[in-house]
Every structure is written in structure tokens, then in C-alpha cells.
Amino acid sequence: MPNFPDGFDLVTDEVAITDRVLRVTHPRVAEDLIDEAEYEEDERLPYWADLWPSGIVLARHLAGLDLTGVRIIEMGAGLGLPSVVAALGGAYVLATDWYGVALEFATANAAQNDAPALATRLVDWAAPPADLLDGPRFDLVIGADVAYESRHGAQLAPLILRLVRDGGEVLIADPRRPAVSSLVTNMREAGWRHTREEVEYEGRPDEQGRVVYLHRFTDPPWRNPSLGTAEDIG
């Protein structure tokens, strides 16, 4: 049974993902959760509490992949929809977020949809846990709308390069936010091949509009050795 945290005004959305409908429960109004003291301390805002179009686009893409046995880490998992879809597809999933309460919602949303239990980890991109960086690498790194602010794109590339295995892949769904350009540039400079697919989201768009970019990074054998390995970056 799902065990959602107490003290929230909750709403549940039904989201069509290929041949199934998943239920995603979240706070009704994310803006109501803004804590001025937290923002003063580290500019923290409750982005986790919204069901973003990019998360739905990424989840639908993952549903079309064979993920059996794949090790996946989601950056900024929030409510956990892509992680839930990946777990339903047979992947081992580690859902990470800056907010502990977001991980509680991701765990409860997995249970609500009869998905295998998610592993979760509290991760600050500016100061990631050393044991996570030194642990086993992941086959696939995913994220949805994770470059909301200018600092996020710059923080993410070095971290991703420490987490993804050689020959692995990275999938980032983004609604054309300017900050993602630094992530793309840094990944390219590290020798990763980059492709971008435009997906038109048919539901209610956010302020960026209906088009979501699905960025795919693959680690080619011709990666420039002068740029270093993942361990050398960041």
C-alpha cells in the first residue's frame, strides 16, 4: 500500500504510458510549499512537487525500451514517474533528489502502481555523497527538467560523468530551458555523442510551451582521450 507523507493537500493524476495508466499523487499546489528560510539558505525551491511535462515525455520514452536488468539512476527524481516506469520495465533504479520528502513521494508512487520498490538516495548536486561517486557505475542516467536554473546545468555534467559507466547512456528530457546548454556543451567536450529529438507534449504545457527536447548522450569509442575520463572531470 502506498504511504504518502502526512500534512499535504494531495491530488492524483492519471497518466497514460503506452498500454497502461499510472497514478501519480502529488501536492495540489507546489508554490504553497515554498519555504523562505530554505530559499535564503541555498535558493531551494520545491520543483519536486510538480508533475512536469518533461517527466511524462521521458517516462513514455523509457516505456519503449528493453530495460531488463539495466542499472539506472534518476537525477532530480521528484515524484518519481520515470523511475517507476523504469522499475516496471525490469530495471534496477536508484531515484535521487535534493528533498527527502520527494523520495517519500517517489517511493509511495511506485507502491501505488505496483512497481518494484525503488532504491532512493538524498543527493545534493553541489556536494554529492562520496560513496555514491565511488560506487558501481550506472548503465543509464536519466533526468527530466533538471536544468531549471543556470547553476543546474553546470553542476550536472561533472556529476553525470562520475556516475555513468563507460559505454553507458544519458537521457535528459528538457523543455528548452537555457540552462541545459551548459550540460550539453560539457558532455560534448568530454567526447560524448549528442543527439536531440523534439517531442510535442499534448497535455497542458508549462511556461516553456509544448515542445520537449529529449537529449541522448552516448559514449563513443572515438572519444577524445585528451579530454580525460569521467574520473578526471569535476
Tally of residues, the chain = 234
Give me the pLDDT at residue 158, please. Answer: 93
φ, ψ for residue 165, nearest 5 deg? -75, 160
Give me the pLDDT at residue 206, please. Answer: 72
Give me the pLDDT at residue 143, please. Answer: 98
Quote the pTM value: 0.90
CA torsion sign for 194, 167, 220, 152 is: positive
φ, ψ for residue 35, nearest 5 deg? -110, 115
Q: Pull the grid cell for residue 49.
A: 512537487
What topology is assigned to 53-232 in CATH? Rossmann fold (3.40.50)
| Average pLDDT per 10 consecutive residues for the chain, totaling 234 residues | 90 96 94 71 75 96 97 98 98 96 98 97 95 96 90 89 95 94 94 96 80 93 42 33
Q: DSSP code of 222? A: T
Give me the pLDDT at residue 39, please. Answer: 62
Q: DSSP code of 206? A: B
Q: Pull the grid cell for residue 207.
A: 511556461
